Structure 1
Amino acid sequence: MNPRNQCWNLQHYTGFCLTALLLCLILTSARFDKTNFAGDWALSKEKSKLTAGQMRIIFSQLKVTQNGNDFTISRTGQTPDGQEFTMDEKITLDGKESENKFFDGMVKKKSTAKWSADEKALTITSALTFNRDGNEVTMNATEIWDTAKNPGELSINYTTTTPNGEIKDTYVYTKK
């Protein structure tokens, strides 16, 4: 075989391998980009699916900041008597437990966040503890955050256990 042909074949083989490696790196990095939920979000009551007849606080607006492992949610809603309030909560995205207190410390919320395998959805598992009629009550909640279904929309599938049973709601927010 001509040495010139061997060199040409080696160059093409090397070029092919480098191209394949680059393509793998690009696909791998695109696959593992974590979803960034940062932004201002407004509740779409029309698209949300809420369990009828349940008394709950509905958060009409979310302001989310996400930087590395720091995840901050500022939730704005109304009390049952119509007063607007905001709850700020900080969660770490490294799998460690975070604790937040609300209503002058009367409600404690311990949360852990975990990414889905493709890092597109985020599951926040929480235990809320408060005093009700002299008894300590703990309610467990799970929020699954996802923007993959519709661009510009945030879907939060929310499941909670209450003394009256389990509640499952889907909150849909649009990006402002």
Structure 2
Amino acid sequence: MKKNYTNKQMSFLRMLSVVMCLMLIVPAMAKAQGKTNFAGNWAFNESKSKLGDSGRRFGGGDFVVKQEANLLSVERSFNDQSFTSKYTLDGKESVNSFGRGESKSTAKWSDDGKSLTIVTKMNFNDMEIKSTQVWTLNDAKTLSIVSTRPNRDGGTVTTTSVYDKK
């Protein structure tokens, strides 16, 4: 038996189907936007950075970032040598070697996926040193990295290094 719908019923059914589609599409679009992509060639911008008394040795310098689904690779050059640090983006520990040993890091996304916090622990002269970096894109061409680490007096120092995308 064929059912005949009135114009009001048809309008209501159309409206209902549009609302249901939006309920499915909008969350999917939000999720598709995903996490911030830090990939690119980054140039240190000293005038926008706030390094305090720490000087450039704890911040600055140009670097290249490659980002895949679950891996962030950071390549820095210093005195004609290149160093690459790799961080898994799933919260699992990553181990990186450096001139005096190795560091262990965990990277964790913020709830909104807009910033990445990297906590690194390393041993130096039989003492564990813990540092934290929070990476955030201010816009598509500006990266800020806020670093917190211990200073020589037992307190902490926080710096902000700003980079421009080349």
The reply to whether TM is greater than 0.5 is yes
- What amino acid maps onto 2:164 in structure 1? T
Distance 1:156 1:171, change over 3 A: same
1:35 and 1:120 in contact (8 A); partners too? yes
Distance 1:174 1:159, change over 3 A: same
Cα distance in structure 1, aligned partners of 2:55 and 2:46: 15
Cα distance in structure 1, aligned partners of 2:42 and 2:127: 31
**Displacement after TM superposition at 1:27 (Å):** 4.8
Equivalent in 116, 136, 139 of residue 146 of structure 1: 136
1:108 and 1:130 in contact (8 A); partners too? no
Task: State yes or no: 1:111 paired with 2:102.
Answer: no
2:43 and 2:163 in contact (8 A); partners too? yes
2:108 and 2:117 in contact (8 A); partners too? yes
- Provide the identity percentage: 34
2:59 and 2:161 in contact (8 A); partners too? no
Equivalent in the alignment of 2:27: 25
Q: How many pairs align?
A: 162
Aligned alpha-carbon RMSD (Å): 2.3
Task: Kindly report which structure 2 residues correspond to 1:45-84, keeping only aligned pairs within 5 A, or say none.
Answer: 45-52=46-53, 56-77=57-78, 83-84=79-80
Find the residue that maps to 2:36 and give its secondary structure: coil
- What amino acid maps onto 1:115 in structure 2? W
Equivalent in the alignment of 2:146: 157
Equivalent in the alignment of 2:4: 3
Cα distance in structure 1, aligned partners of 2:77 and 2:18: 54
Cα distance in structure 2, aligned partners of 1:129 and 1:9: 69
**Displacement after TM superposition at 1:117 (Å):** 0.6
**Displacement after TM superposition at 1:108 (Å):** 1.7
